[in-house]
Structure 1
Amino acid sequence: MKNAVLNTLVLLTMAVAFLSCDKEETIQSADLPVAANTFLTTHFAKAKVSHVKKEKEGLSGREYTVYLSDGTEIVFDKNGDWTEVDGSNNTAIPETFILAPIVSYVNEKYPDAKIASIEKDRNEFDVELTNGFDLVFDANGTFKRMD
């Protein structure tokens, strides 16, 4: 009886682990949500899409990662809203989609640096500069701290 319970427990654990694994597939950029394609054509019009990966993210749904020919990576959530933009090799990314208070703060405090990557969570933005500094802003773009 103990072996049967143990075997069942092991099988259930393996099944849960298998089902919770991220599923990843390569898709065409035309298969991205409309908002993601609009973002790309508006803010990265000169860059070509190299490839796109669609990944199932457990309970949070789908996530799309777009790889541009210049090495930039952009992550979109299931609705096509950007969650992360990372320039390649610490190069500057366009600032046209970044909150104005963040851009102003960086330009004022770090005039020789540019924004190399930005990640947004529910309540804050994590901004990495080309000089290596990592800044955190709240959801409104107010500076909170340096990490």
Structure 2
Amino acid sequence: MKTKLKLAACLLVGLTFSANAQKTVITKTDLPANAQTFLKTHFAGQEPSYIIKDKETFATDYKVQFTNNIEVEFDAKGNWEEVDGNHTSIPVAIVPKTIASYIKTNFANTSVTKISKDYKGYEVDINNGLELEFNSKGSFLRIDN
């Protein structure tokens, strides 16, 4: 009986937090300054289809969708967390130099189609179907498929 009560309490807490999530459509000028600079640098001349601000209980993040299906996700401070080309190449300048060099040396004639980063490091998808993992300094760790 106690476990059922605990489970019910956990579900209620989870529902409360998910009910507090708010997604709103915003404009480029509503993005944090870092995100605006990133978009001007890497996507100059491209207008987003839409930008969503996702405000949750403990975090806020932003998702920018372009007409060519490239998606960019930013944290609350406007730092990029993920750039997803949805199986098309993303701008090479986004990829840290050590990672780009590793890919050029070991996987010639491929391009990066997705990159995401967190406190542990980077995950990089290349157009031959491989997913590569790198540490936070850009050193290769493993192929993850």
Would you say same fold, with TM above 0.5? yes
Q: Which residue pairs with 2:42 in the alignment?
A: 43
Distance 1:120 1:12 in 2: 30
Question: What's the offset of the Cα at 1:10?
Answer: 6.3
What are the Cα deviations for residues 14-59 of structure 1, in whole angstroms up to 9, with x where unaligned? 4x33431132111111100010010000011132211000112342
* Higher Rg of the two aligned structures: 1
Counterpart in the other structure of 2:112? 115
CA contact (8 A) 1:67 1:74 kept: yes
> Any idea what SS the aligned residue of 1:26 has?
strand
Distance 2:113 2:92 in 1: 10
How many residue pairs get aligned? The number is 137
Spell out the pairing of 1:53-132 with structure 2 (5 A cutoff): 53-59=52-58, 61-88=59-86, 90-132=87-129
Summarize deviations over 1:68-117 as a string: whole Å, max 9, x none. Answer: 121100000000000000003x1110021221000001111111210000
User: Quick one: distance in 2 between partners of 1:101 and 1:38?
Assistant: 22
Alpha carbons of structure 1 residues 28 and 112: separation in structure 2 relative to 1, 3 Å: same
Which residue identity is paired with 1:115? V
CA contact (8 A) 1:29 1:51 kept: no
Relative to the length of structure 2, the TM-score reads: 0.87
The answer (yes or no) to whether the contact 1:47–1:70 under 8 Å persists in 2 is no
Whole-angstrom distance in 1 between the partners of 2:112 and 2:142: 16
Q: Distance in 2 between matches of 1:18 and 1:71?
A: 31
| Identity within the alignment, % | 35
Q: Secondary structure at the match of 2:34?
A: helix
Instruction: State the superposition RMSD in angstroms.
Output: 1.9
TM-score of the pair, normalised by structure 1? 0.86
Q: Name structure 1 gaps, 5 residues minimum.
A: 1-5
- What does 1:4-43 correspond to in 2, within 5 Å? 14=12, 16-21=13-18, 22-43=21-42
| Match 2:134 to one of 114, 137, 140 | 137
Distance in 1, Cα, partners of 2:11 & 2:124:
39
